[in-house]
Amino acid sequence: MGTTLNARTAPPLPGELAALVGPEDPGWFARELAVAAAPPWWFWRFVLHRLGWVVGLFGRIEATGEVPDQLRRGPLLLAVNHIGDFDPFVVAVALHRLGVRPRIMATAGILGVPVVGRLLERCGVIRVQRGTELARTAVTVTQVALAHGGHVVAYPEGRQGLAPGLWPERGRTGMARLALTSGVPVLPVSQWGAHEVLQYGRGWGKVRTAARAVVRRPVLRVHVGPPVVLDDLRAGRVGDANRARTRIAAAITRGLVPLRADEPEAPRFPDPTRPQSRPAAFPGGVVPEDIP
């Protein structure tokens, strides 16, 4: 059961947002709603603008593609393939270079870390409580962020990819349903290289791979493609969420192919700690032309 909201655990909210919070919702839900409705925090903008070099210590960031000005002025959903624990930092810095103000969806665990978690929350990170009754809160916070022009970064796969060759999985329908319901443009973001900074498994292996990355400085590539065409699909119509999910996965995969042109079959970086237990949406990066 969540912590009951009170003046100590939640900031004051406008009436329309306060109505979204129930008496049994945890205090962080109200805080995240307040952050989602506000412009990006000055400190978060400062971090992205001035401290991106810290991420660059672990590799050379290359951001390609573009986000047109007319899209940057409004809400955006940015669908990213998830290849490692380090990639949220790479994606945030790269998107900032392209004029995006990223609000990243992340698993609840990191937001539970003392001090760091509260700082990330204040920076606009959206908590995802997978497999619990509080999973709905991420959808609500995201809807509020989008309603206030937010640029929300989400991983359609729902976790780090576990497909052979590290090609994107088909993903879940959550982001597709959100896109169809909100009508917000979906930009596919393909990225490659961040998996070399931190291995999948826990333990000292992460320290070793991070240290090796500082020496080798792999290329950390991020590419933003054109909006995924979803205009012919409707929220609530049978099959359309699956069609939207497939189109999003196809767009990410197409953008990924040139980023890993010299690694088409398997990553050059071996990671025996990563299981290969899920099918890729498009094995080998081969996407048919006739995606429904």
Please report the pLDDT score of residue 5 as a whole number. 34
- The answer to whether residue 129 sits within a structural domain is no
What's the mean per-residue pLDDT of the chain?
Answer: 91
Convert the pLDDT of each residue in 151-195 to its tens digit.
Answer: 999 999 988 999 999 999 988 899 999 999 999 999 999 999 999
- The answer to whether residue 120 sits within a structural domain is no
**Angle at the Cα of 171 from the Cα atoms of 197 and 140, rounded to 5 degrees:** 95
- The answer to whether residue 245 sits within a structural domain is yes
| Radius of gyration from C-alpha coordinates of the chain | 19
Please report the pLDDT score of residue 12 as a whole number. 56
Question: What domain range is 195 assigned to?
Answer: 39-101+150-158+169-260
What is the percent of the chain where pLDDT is above 90? 78
- The answer to whether residue 67 sits within a structural domain is yes
Q: Is the dihedral angle over the CA atoms 274, 278, 279, 282 positive or is it negative?
A: negative
Locus of tokens 């990671």 = 271
Q: Is the pLDDT of residue 79 over 90?
A: yes
Convert the pLDDT of each residue in 220-255 to its tens digit.
Answer: 999 999 999 999 999 989 999 999 999 999 999 999
Q: What is the largest CA-CA distance in the chain?
A: 56
Instruction: Tally the domains of the chain.
Output: 1
- The answer to whether residue 201 sits within a structural domain is yes
Please report the pLDDT score of residue 107 as a whole number. 84
Average pLDDT (247-267) is 96
- The answer to whether residue 6 sits within a structural domain is no
**Angle at the Cα of 145 from the Cα atoms of 9 and 110, rounded to 5 degrees:** 55
Contact (CB, 8 A) for 148 and 212:
no
pLDDT confidence band for 10 (50 / 70 / 90): very low
Convert the pLDDT of each residue in 129-148 to its tens digit.
Answer: 877 778 889 999 999 999 99
Locus of tokens 């969420």 = 241
Q: CA-CA distances (angstroms) from residue 92 to 31, 34, 142, 220?
A: 22, 21, 17, 12
**Cα–Cα distance, 178 to 156 (Å, whole number):** 11
Nearest to residue 36, comparing CAs of 21, 51, 47? 21
- The answer to whether residue 279 sits within a structural domain is no
pTM: 0.92
Cα torsion at 72, 224, 63, 149 (round to 10°)? 20
pLDDT confidence band for 217 (50 / 70 / 90): very high
- The answer to whether residue 216 sits within a structural domain is yes
- How would you classify the pairing of strands 219-224 and 186-192? antiparallel
Average pLDDT (88-112) is 92
